[in-house]
Amino acid sequence: MDVREVLVGDARHMLERLQAGTITKAPQCASRPASIYTDPALFAREKTLLFRRAPLMLAASCELRQPGDCKVMDVAGVPLLLVRGKDGVVRTFLNACTHRGARLMRECGHAARLTCPYHAWSFRLDGSLLAIPAREAFGEVEAEEGRLVAFPTTERAGLIWAILDPGAAPDFDAFLGGFDALLAGFGFERWHHFESRTLEGANWKLAFDAHLEFYHLPVLHRATFGPGMSNLAEYFHYGPHQRLGLLTRADHVLEQDDVAGLAGIAESEWPQASLLFGEWIIFPNVSINCFYKGGRGVIISQVFPGAEVGQSTTVQIFLHENPPAGELLADARAMSDFLGHVVGEEDLPMSRDQQEVLASGLLPRVRFGRNEGGVQHFHAWIDRFLGAPDGATLAQIMQRA
């Protein structure tokens, strides 16, 4: 894949659509049962057949920059511990001591070794069992039996993915299909983690649907993004993953380097930052949005299922190409607060309202328009994962008609 050729082709197409004032519409409108957001049985299947089958983007590499850096998180009921080892490799473990299942860590941080707070069993950063207190009294433990439960993990494009099935084949290539090569243009491995925050929402798909269309922007966000914001999006599909383009300029948020600014410039001189501008969707639950206030940055939004069908958690991870300092630091803080407000006080309350209505059972179906192709694409790929037969590999799911 010639990455620049793909990005230039996408940008050229977006400029043509901007000049024409139209978008490429989905073939038809679509509808789905409202129960996709409220059915506990379907929700349980999603957690098993999607969130334990599909590779999940769990962290940015810069969140675990040094050996010993650790990240703690819970995903669809699975407690996880991400650790960068002394060899520089990031590994994903079940956050559980192999003695009696106690969580090894409760907060992100740094560790030279992983020590259980219950009985002080300790593990090396590669997951191998290091020591058992009073070992002679306890008895023998086979080395492999004592090793932490590990999940297939890969680090690409400055992002970390894992499959939450210890026995899964690590076929990340089949799932990503070159999408990681496009994301590599950002160079996230050299960026800096500014901050993260967590927001509570409704069903995870209701919360994530808002990341998949711009139709709602000038309406729901009229007091924040402003009335000049476009409600049109051009969708580019890369397997289950997507890119949304055609967002018009809103100076207080974007400031520079959007695709519209490429008009009149020779293609050979189009800067990489402009070619990457927009919203990138990593299936099934991650959105990456670009911004420039406080310096070039992105917000990575991860939407995870909650404990119940009507609950979700949105984690916002803010990265900057360069550490904000001076006036840029205040701007970066204002940007993260602004985007936290937009999602936490506008998007997520709307999804909770929708959840209440749909849970009544009195609205039998929801509808997706031809201008909401991203939402249609997303739900079609969920169907593909849920409908795959038991034992299907990632490659088979990706190729399945």
For the stretch 280-306, pLDDT in tens is 999 999 999 998 889 999 999 999 999
255 has a pLDDT exceeding 50: no
312 has a pLDDT exceeding 80: yes
Nearest Cα neighbor of 312 from 153, 74, 149 is 74
The CATH architecture that domain 3-53+180-399 belongs to is Alpha-Beta Complex (3.90)
User: 62-162 has which fold?
Assistant: Rieske Iron-sulfur Protein (2.102.10)
Q: What pLDDT was estimated at residue 252?
A: 39
How many CA within 13 A on the CB side of residue 128? 5
The sheet with strand 69-75 has its strands ordered as 109-110, 69-75, 78-84, 90-94, 150-151
Return the minimum-mean-pLDDT range out of 216-225, 235-244, 284-293: 216-225
263 has a pLDDT exceeding 90: no
Q: What pLDDT was estimated at residue 257?
A: 58
| 262 — pLDDT class (breaks 50, 70, 90) | confident
Q: What pLDDT was estimated at residue 1?
A: 77
Which of the two residues, 54 and 292, has the higher pLDDT score? Answer: 54
Going by C-beta distance under 8 Å and a sequence separation of 6 or more, which residues neighbour residue 247?
214, 229, 230, 233, 254, 258, 278, 279
Identify whether the C-beta of residue 364 lies closer than 8 Å to the C-beta of residue 327: no
Q: Please state the pTM of the whole predicted model.
A: 0.95
- For residue 182, report the phi and psi dihedrals to the nearest 5 degrees: -70, -45
Burial pattern 228-259, b for ≥16 Cβ within 10 A else e, equals ebbbbbbbbebebbbbbbbbbebeebbbebbb
248 has a pLDDT exceeding 70: no
Please tell me whether residue 7 adopts helix, strand or coil conformation: helix
Nearest Cα neighbor of 125 from 81, 165, 74 is 81
Domain boundaries of the chain, sorted by first residue: 3-53+180-399, 62-162
254 has a pLDDT exceeding 80: no
Identify whether the C-beta of residue 309 lies closer than 8 Å to the C-beta of residue 200: no
Q: Please give the structure tokens belonging to residue 188.
A: 């996230």
Please tell me whether residue 14 adopts helix, strand or coil conformation: helix
Average pLDDT of the chain is 93
Interatomic CA distance for residues 206 and 3, integer angstroms: 32
Q: What is the 8-class DSSP label of residue 69? A: E
Q: What is the pLDDT of residues 73-98, one digit of tens each?
A: 999 999 999 999 999 999 999 999 99
Angle, alpha carbons 300-332-66 (nearest 5°): 60
Identify whether the C-beta of residue 26 lies closer than 8 Å to the C-beta of residue 372: yes
* Average pLDDT for 259-270: 86
* Average pLDDT for 296-318: 97
Interatomic CA distance for residues 325 and 117, integer angstroms: 38
302: part of which helix (H) or strand (E)? Answer: strand 297-305
Dihedral, CA of residue 187, residue 193, residue 194 and residue 197, to nearest 10: 120
